[in-house]
Amino acid sequence: MPAIDYHLVHEVPGRLRLHIPALGEPGCEPGYLEAWMEAAAAVSAVRSNRAARSLIIHYQGNASTRGTLLQRLQAFPGEPIPGFGAEGLREAEWAPMLTTAMTLAVLPFLSPPARLLLTLVNVGSTLAKGLDTLINHGIKVEVLDAIAVGLAAADGKVFTANVTDLLLSLGEYLEVRTERQSDRLLRRLLRPQPAMAWVERAGELIQVDGAEVQVGETVVIGTGETVAVDGRVIGGMGLVNQAAVTGEDVPVRKEAPARVIAGSVVLEGRLRITATQVGAETSTARIARFIQESLNRGAATQRAADRLADQRVYLTLGTGALVYALTRDLTRLQAVFLVDYSCALKLGTPVAFKSGMHRAAQQGVLMKGGEAIERLAEVDTVVFDKTGTLTHSDLEVTDVLVLDGSGDCTETELLALVASVEEHASHPVAQAVVDAARERDLQHISHGEVDYMVAHGLSAEVQGGRIIVGSRHFLEEHMQIGFGRHEALIEALHAAGKTLLFVGNSRGPVGLIALRDTLREDAAATLARLRTLGIEQLVMITGDRREKALALGTELGLDAVHAEMPPEQKAGIIEALQRAGRKVAFVGDGVNDGPALTVANVGIAMPRGADIARATADIVLLDDHLRAVADAREIAGRTMALIKSNFRTAIGVNTGVLAAAVFGWLSPVGSALLHNGTTVGILLRALAGVQPTGPQPSPTPRRQLPAPGA
C-alpha cells in the first residue's frame, strides 16, 4: 500500500490530530490503522473517526518521538497486525442511535404517511439484516428482531418500531465498545518493547534495536546490560540474573556453550553470544496470535446463552402463531413478537465478561477472555511455583555467624568487613549483604584492591591480611579453605532454607552469612483469603531442597509441598491432581513454567515472568502483588454469579412479559418497553460489573509490564 497522505489539523504536547483523506476508503480499515499505531511503545491511546476522516494519537515523548510516530503512520501496510482480525476490531457505531433519536424527535411533526416512510427508512438496516440472516443462516435472533420491528411499523406503530430499533442499536454499541476497549487494553499491555543490542558487523561493534538482530549474528553484552535475543555463549564469562525470565533467585555463571535467554541481565563480566531466536519468533507475532485466539474462544456459558437465545426465537415465533390462530388479534400478535429473550441473553453475558476483565485490570490482573474467568471460578486447587511467586527474587541476610577458632572477630565486625568488600560487586547476594550493613548503620572498613573471580567470589587485603568471600566450592577448591568441621551447622542452615556465603582468610574459615529469598508480605494473607473463596487445596512446587521447601510450606500452612522437582515434572504434578478430579490453577513466572501453565485448567503468570509464560498463561498479573491472585478468583466468582443472576432475571421477566402479552394484558408498546427496559437494565448491570471486597491496591502508579526481551 502506498504511503498514507495526511496533514496535521491540531497539535498540543503529547497529542496529534491528523486528517487522513483515505481513512474509511477501501484498503484502509480504521481498526487496523488504530492497532498499527497502538503497537508503538510511545503511544498511549489512538482514536479514529471515519466520518471526519481523522486520527487522534496520544503519546509520551518529545519531538523525536513525534517524528518517529509520523514515519510509522506513513509505513502503515493497510493490513491487520498479526493475530488481530477484522472481527476483533469492529467499530462501535453511534450513528444508528443518533439517526433513530432524530427520527423520534421529528415524528410528531409529520403526517402519518411521512411517519411510516421515515420509519421504514430508519429501520431498513434492521429489516435487511433479518432478511439476510434468514436466507443465509435460517431462523436466528436477527430474524425475530426484524419481524418485531417490521410488524410494529406495518401496523402503524412507528414509535414502538423506532424505540425498539434504538434499543437494539444501543445494545450492539455497548457490546462492541466494551469489546474494543478490552482488546485495546490487551494489545497495549503485552506489546513488546525490545532492548537495544551491540552487534558485530563488518568488524565493528554497532548498537541496533533488538528486533533488528539477525539469526547467527554475534551480540556483545556488558555489565548491567539486558540480553536482547535468545542465543548461545561463544566467548567471555559472566554472572547473569535470570530472575525476570526463569524466576531463579540466585544469578548463574555463563560461559561457552551455555544458553542465554532474552530478558536476562548481565551483572558481572562480558559475554559474546550467537543469536539463535530473534524478532517475531519470540515476541510480537506469538503473543498477538495467542491473545486473539483466546478472545475468539467463547466461554461455555456464553455459548450456552447463545444457544438458548436462538431456541427462544422458535418459542416466541411458535407462541405468536398459536395466539394469532386462536384469537386473530393482530395487536396481541405484535405484543408477543416484541418479546425478545435474545438481547438480554446474548449481550448481557459477553458484556459481563468484558466488564469483569476491565475490573480485573483495574485490580492489576489481565484476564484473557471470558473462558479464563469461567474456569477460574470453578478452580478448587491452586498450585504455586515458589521462587518469584510466593517469594520475592530479592535476598535478605538472616544470620551472621562467626565460626569457632576464627579469632576475636564479632558478628558486627564480620558483617561490616564483608559488606565493605561486597559493595564493589553488583549481584543480589552482595547487594543483600550491603543492605544489611546499612540497616545496622555499620561503618565502611578500608581495604585494598578487590580481586574478582567471576561467578565464584572475591578477595581483598584488609587490615594486614586477605579476606576471601564466595561460594563453598570457591573457598575449598580454589583457595583450599575447608569448612568440613562445621558441616552440622551448614546442614542446619540449608535445612532452614537458607543460601550461604562463606568467608575465610589465610588462617582458615572465618564465618558464614546466611540469606533467604524473602517471603512476600501478602503471601500468608492471600492464601488465607483464597481458602475463604472456596479453594480447598494449596500446593507448592519448587526445585529447592526438601528441608527448605517443607519449612516454607509449614510456615504458610500449605496442604502439599513438592520439593527438588525438575522443571519438566511440574506439569506432571498438575496432571495427577486433575486425574484425581481437581480443577487446578497454576501460578508461575518462568520459561520452564510454560508446560505447567498450559496443562493447568487456569494458568496465572506473575508480572516479572518470562515472555513465554505471559503468552501461555490465561491470566497475567500486572502488579507485583500476590494478592492479585485472590482478587482474580473473587472477580471470577462474582462475575459468574452476576451472569447467572442476569440470566435468571432475563428469563423470568421476559417469560412474564410473554405470558401477559399472550393473555392480552399488555399492549405492543407496553410489551416493548418492559422487554427492552429489562434488556437495558441487565446490560447496565453487566457493565457495572463487580468489585472485589478484599484489600485494594495502593494508589501508587502502576509499573509497566517488563517488555519481552527487555
Which residues are tagged catalytic? 385
Half-sphere exposure of 361 (CA within 13 A, CB side): 21
Torsions phi, psi of 459, nearest 5? -150, 160
Q: Give CA–CA dist 643/506, Å, rounded.
A: 72
- Return all residues near 136 (Cβ < 8 A) that are at least 6 apart: none
In whole angstroms, give the CA distance from residue 565 to residue 254. Answer: 23
DSSP 197-263: EEEEETTEEEEEEGGGPPTT-EEEE-TTPBP-SEEEEEEEEEEEE-HHHH--SS-EEEETT-EE-TT
- Expressed in angstroms, the distance from the first to the final Cα of the chain is 32
Provide the CA 80 distance to its chain's centre, in angstroms. 21
Q: Is 400 helix (H, G, I), strand (E, B) or coil?
A: strand
- Round to whole Å and give the CA distance between 661 and 668: 8
**Angle at CA 173, nearest 5°, toward 172 and 175?**
65
3-class secondary structure, 301: helix
- 269 membership: H or E segment, kind and range: strand 265-277
Gap between the Cα atoms of 206 and 219, Å rounded = 10
All 3 cell numbers of residue 605? 503468570
Bridge partners of residue 603, in order along the sequence:
586
* DSSP secondary structure letter of residue 447: -
Residue 424 has phi, psi (to 5 degrees) of -90, -5
Angle of the 141-154 helix axis to the 112-122 helix axis, nearest 10: 170
Residue spans of alpha helices (H) in 258-385: 284-296, 300-327, 330-337, 342, 348-362, 370-378
**Around 190, how many Cα atoms within 13 Å sit in the side-chain half-sphere?**
36
Three-state DSSP at 644 gives helix
Vertex 547 angle, CA 541 and 553, to 5°:
50
Q: Taking a C-beta distance cutoff of 8 angstroms, is the pair 246, 610 a contact?
A: yes
Q: Please state, in angstroms and rounded to a whole number, the distance separating the CA atoms of residues 689 and 353.
A: 8
Please count the helices (runs of H) and the strands (runs of E) in the chain. Answer: 25, 24
Q: Please answer whether residues 179 and 90 qualify as being in contact, where contact means their C-beta atoms are separated by less than 8 angstroms.
A: yes
Rounded (to 5) percent helix, strand, coil in the chain: 50, 20, 30
Question: Which is nearest to 430 in space by CA: 449, 408, 454?
Answer: 454
Check residue 387 and report its DSSP letter.
B
Beta carbons within 10 angstroms of residue 499's beta carbon: 21
Beta bridge partners of 446: none
Q: Is 349 within 8 Å of 647 (Cβ atoms)?
A: yes
**Strand 230-241 relative to strand 252-255, pairing:** antiparallel
